[in-house]
Chain A
């Protein structure tokens, strides 16, 4: 019995620290509607800065707590800098651009942390005065855990008072409930947003700083916490502080006890809880329903015009060029180009549901990964050979999309995006944790093409033909009645139901189609490198797809292809540099700020303007 109580307290201590991070994320989302991926990086920075300060300052309570508080404040200032330098310039852009920009910040901070603190994990000092353990019902519980639990409750109370007893708090609540109304109130919105970023980032930094006596400080903290924090925010209800607290406790206790019962699937449990909550209460435990938000993300003239003759000729020319390329360029570039084809298909499949259907997925890598693992497992365990493995890869992914999509299409906007992320994380967890089947962290090796296709040139042609075929099929469907119906549902869900269309069913069907093609891309990808690792399905892979679509230009047909091309070649060029992530992050941020319509979209607009100038 006492053991379970001790375990319960450990869970509560984790809940406290998780709550600090998640509440900050929730406040920021509530007011600014920004899905801030950099929040996990702020948490990591809080831990690293606190580690440096606490070890540098004189040993003692003042040094420790002073270091913790200063690091939280420093992180708050970093959050403000990000808000002013980056986000403030793109509040008018589609919401997803802001997400992509924050992911650029994630990459930047990752490399800055590597540069400043080096690659090794840091072991923080104990908190002076709380370095022992107390005996509770015969079990030893670290004193520091109790301190953290109390601190979590103190922060909860302080936030509650702040939001319910101050004018600033009232404004934050007003902004969370109705952003348009806020604009009509005549308050300084920029100042409100900046202050919200400060508070949110301070909370993330504090959460990280308080962790240093409990766990080592590592470079994996950022993405590890962000996924969990998203789950907490979504389960609790976006913008709800009390909801975030409840969800933190639920998730942390689930982890604390789940590890005793199902040690192999601890990672999956949390996401399963999120799925269950969202299916029963689509807006989280204490969240409020939102209006239709899916369409507004990507409104405009997206995809309204079929490619004309000139465009078709240009595409045909590009294809012909790709056909003759193997006789001209070095084999190395063929490998890169094969990768471009695969990612172009992957991005086009996301674009199919996102650009055309208004359904945002933060977890499209799920289907890429299912295709990759499906093909690899068929090859290794089923001995099917490459041909059948690639042919069946889409079905593996399509089956996943059939199941996951059934739930996703019941939601809209950011909730749908978050649920898709949860499903992707479930796939990732299984890939990562079922070592016997998937090879765990090391992945499955020996995924090589059949002898006839093992030559790089042959495989180049294979990927070219299959990916081009897939992309053309997706494009054709966009302009077929099915694609039109999806776009109609994006433009006006009300009207589409009033002309007798079962929109949910069509969206589900679209999810499956996108899954099939993402699966084909995943299957081809595995054979490209001979290995399938959990990276095929992790969060960065899902973000990659989003970035390719958005950076290329979600409003355009060839945007995702241009995005894939730019992405793969840029990454390859940059890999030569030691801090390539930072450069990459900066480039992403730069594109988000300078080209709000994406590369193709912005070029298209420039061309239109030039034409208009010539005409006048």
Chain B
């Protein structure tokens, strides 16, 4: 059963078709990678799902809800977690407090004026932090943390409201190669254990092929391939896109133009 069902998603900016008729499902418990060269429409697609952008056409179904037209805030409330390409944490707060903030919001207590925030949901915060291996640094402030550690904090924050789906925009961007694999393996282990589905974009193909259960490939706003890592690796069109073979590229381009016309 699909957790997220995207169908016919289209978005234009001016005359540019950033996204045309993209459809795919995220199945329960899978790690679906969305790949493609720069400008393929990954970010547009991502932002249409998480509520930053409103698509021109198409629907994004999450359980019984249509996410189109909802704000990022409402989408989060429905059970969709997010991590950012460039980490966004609360620098003046400790690691634990960052997670506590997400828990406070999840329990709808962000308007409470009396209890001490730092003593709320402490146990749950520490549980989440040990899941991502950050319990040792729980009392350190985020503005002194290494970048790789911040990524792990973000992961714990994103899981605080027990999402059914996690949207990860370039989760390993800005990290050293060895750290990337580790972080993605950590993520894969956690989501498998908790039955969370993940949709992520990624530039590092090692990370993608090592962890994704399925891959979709975007190019020029269209979905051009979909399948298991092995299928996608052997797909000739995908190879062309990434290797950019001159003659075939031209043939493909004219084929695309014909399709457009």
Q: Chain B contacts of A501 at CB under 8 A?
A: 73, 105, 110
Q: Chain B contacts of A496 at CB under 8 A?
A: 90, 101
Q: Mark out the residues of chain A between 453 and 510 whose CB falls within 8 Å of any chain B CB in the assembled complex.
A: 476-477, 479-485, 487-488, 490-492, 494-502, 506, 509
Q: Mark out the residues of chain B between 136 and 161 whose CB falls within 8 Å of any chain A CB in the assembled complex.
A: 141, 143, 157, 160-161
Which of B6-14, B116-124, B247-255 forms contacts with chain A? Answer: B116-124
Which of A158-166, A294-302, A313-321, A565-573 forms contacts with chain B? Answer: A294-302
Most buried by B among A299, A483, A496, A498: A498
Q: Mark out the residues of chain B between 67 and 95 whose CB falls within 8 Å of any chain A CB in the assembled complex.
A: 72-73, 76-77, 82, 84, 88-94
Say if the beta carbon of B112 comes within 8 Å of chain A.
yes
Tell me if A480 and B114 are in contact (CB < 8 A): yes
Select one of B84, B93, B110 contacting A494, CB under 8 A: B84
Q: Mark out the residues of chain A between 487 and 535 whose CB falls within 8 Å of any chain B CB in the assembled complex.
A: 487-488, 490-492, 494-502, 506, 509
**Residue-by-residue, is B105-116 near A (CB-CB < 8 Å gives 1, otherwise 0)?**
110011111111
* Alpha-carbon distance A502/B76, docked complex (angstroms): 12
Say if the beta carbon of B188 comes within 8 Å of chain A.
no
CB within 8 Å for A485 and B110 given contacts A491-B92, A499-B102: yes
Which single residue of chain A is at the shortest CB-CB distance from B78?
A: A500
Tell me if B88 and A301 are in contact (CB < 8 A): no
Q: Chain A contacts of B143 at CB under 8 A?
A: 301
Q: Chain A contacts of B72 at CB under 8 A?
A: 497-498
Select one of B84, B104, B116 contacting A479, CB under 8 A: B116
Tell me if B93 and A488 are in contact (CB < 8 A): yes
Q: Chain A contacts of B114 at CB under 8 A?
A: 476, 480
Q: Chain B contacts of A2 at CB under 8 A?
A: none
Tell me if A485 and B104 are in contact (CB < 8 A): yes
Say if the beta carbon of A435 comes within 8 Å of chain B.
no
Q: In the complex, how many angstroms separate the beta carbon of A123 from the nearest chain B beta carbon? A: 56
Say if the beta carbon of A304 comes within 8 Å of chain B.
yes
Q: In the complex, how many angstroms separate the beta carbon of A557 from the nearest chain B beta carbon? A: 13
Interface SS of chain A: helix
Tell me if A481 and B117 are in contact (CB < 8 A): yes
| Tally of contact residues, A, Cβ under 8 A | 32
Tell me if B111 and A509 are in contact (CB < 8 A): yes
* Alpha-carbon distance A494/B118, docked complex (angstroms): 21
Say if the beta carbon of A306 comes within 8 Å of chain B.
yes
**Residue-by-residue, is B176-191 near A (CB-CB < 8 Å gives 1, otherwise 0)?**
0000000000000000
Select one of A303, A484, A490 contacting B101, CB under 8 A: A484
CB within 8 Å for A500 and B161 given contacts A301-B92, A484-B104, A492-B88: yes
Which single residue of chain B is at the shortest CB-CB distance from A487?
A: B92
Q: In the complex, how many angstroms separate the beta carbon of A297 from the nearest chain B beta carbon? A: 14
Which single residue of chain B is at the shortest CB-CB distance from A555?
A: B92
Which single residue of chain B is at the shortest CB-CB distance from A500?
A: B76
Q: In the complex, how many angstroms separate the beta carbon of A514 from the nearest chain B beta carbon? A: 13
Tell me if A481 and B111 are in contact (CB < 8 A): yes
Say if the beta carbon of B97 comes within 8 Å of chain A.
yes
| Tally of contact residues, B, Cβ under 8 A | 35
Q: Chain B contacts of A497 at CB under 8 A?
A: 72-73
* Alpha-carbon distance A491/B98, docked complex (angstroms): 11
* Alpha-carbon distance A500/B74, docked complex (angstroms): 7
Q: Chain A contacts of B94 at CB under 8 A?
A: 304
* Alpha-carbon distance A20/B110, docked complex (angstroms): 48
Q: In the complex, how many angstroms separate the beta carbon of A8 from the nearest chain B beta carbon? A: 41
Q: In the complex, how many angstroms separate the beta carbon of B179 from the nearest chain A beta carbon? A: 21
* Alpha-carbon distance A506/B109, docked complex (angstroms): 12
Tell me if A481 and B92 are in contact (CB < 8 A): no
* Alpha-carbon distance A480/B100, docked complex (angstroms): 12
Most buried by B among A477, A483, A487: A487
Most buried by B among A303, A476, A480, A501: A480
* Alpha-carbon distance A461/B23, docked complex (angstroms): 70
Which single residue of chain A is at the shortest CB-CB distance from B97?
A: A484
* Alpha-carbon distance A300/B144, docked complex (angstroms): 11
Tell me if B113 and A479 are in contact (CB < 8 A): no
Q: In the complex, how many angstroms separate the beta carbon of A537 from the nearest chain B beta carbon? A: 27
Q: In the complex, how many angstroms separate the beta carbon of A486 from the nearest chain B beta carbon? A: 9
Q: Chain A contacts of B116 at CB under 8 A?
A: 306, 479-480
* Alpha-carbon distance A316/B192, docked complex (angstroms): 53
* Alpha-carbon distance A439/B129, docked complex (angstroms): 62
Tell me if B88 and A498 are in contact (CB < 8 A): yes
Tell me if A495 and B111 are in contact (CB < 8 A): no
CB within 8 Å for A499 and B112 given contacts A302-B92, A479-B118, A481-B120: no
Tell me if A304 and B84 are in contact (CB < 8 A): no
Q: In the complex, how many angstroms separate the beta carbon of B159 from the nearest chain A beta carbon? A: 11
* Alpha-carbon distance A58/B148, docked complex (angstroms): 75
CB within 8 Å for A306 and B118 given contacts A477-B113, A488-B90: yes
Select one of A483, A491, A506 contacting B117, CB under 8 A: A483
Tell me if A487 and B90 are in contact (CB < 8 A): yes
Tell me if A491 and B93 are in contact (CB < 8 A): yes
* Alpha-carbon distance A497/B113, docked complex (angstroms): 20
CB within 8 Å for A492 and B73 given contacts A484-B117, A500-B161: no
Which single residue of chain A is at the shortest CB-CB distance from B103?
A: A499
CB within 8 Å for A304 and B93 given contacts A481-B104, A481-B117, A485-B104: yes
* Alpha-carbon distance A154/B104, docked complex (angstroms): 60
Which single residue of chain A is at the shortest CB-CB distance from B74?
A: A500
Q: Chain A contacts of B118 at CB under 8 A?
A: 306, 479, 484
Q: Chain A contacts of B120 at CB under 8 A?
A: 481
* Alpha-carbon distance A502/B105, docked complex (angstroms): 10
* Alpha-carbon distance A582/B9, docked complex (angstroms): 66
Tell me if A495 and B89 are in contact (CB < 8 A): yes
Tell me if A499 and B111 are in contact (CB < 8 A): no
* Alpha-carbon distance A39/B118, docked complex (angstroms): 45
Q: Chain B contacts of A300 at CB under 8 A?
A: 92
26 A–B contact pairs at CB < 8 A?
A299-B91, A300-B92, A303-B92, A480-B113, A481-B104, A481-B109, A481-B112, A482-B111, A484-B104, A485-B111, A487-B92, A491-B90, A491-B93, A492-B88, A492-B90, A492-B91, A494-B88, A495-B89, A495-B157, A496-B101, A497-B73, A498-B73, A498-B82, A499-B157, A499-B161, A506-B110
Q: Which residues of A contact B (CB under 8 A)?
A: 299-304, 306, 476-477, 479-485, 487-488, 490-492, 494-502, 506, 509
Top 5 nearest A-B pairs (CB, nearest first) are A495-B88, A484-B117, A491-B90, A500-B76, A485-B110
Q: Which residues of B contact A (CB under 8 A)?
A: 72-73, 76-77, 82, 84, 88-94, 97, 101-102, 104-106, 109-118, 120, 141, 143, 157, 160-161
New contact pairs (17) apart from A484-B118, A498-B88, A500-B77, CB-CB < 8 Å: A299-B91, A300-B92, A304-B92, A304-B141, A479-B116, A480-B112, A484-B104, A484-B117, A488-B90, A488-B93, A491-B93, A495-B84, A495-B89, A498-B72, A500-B76, A500-B105, A502-B73
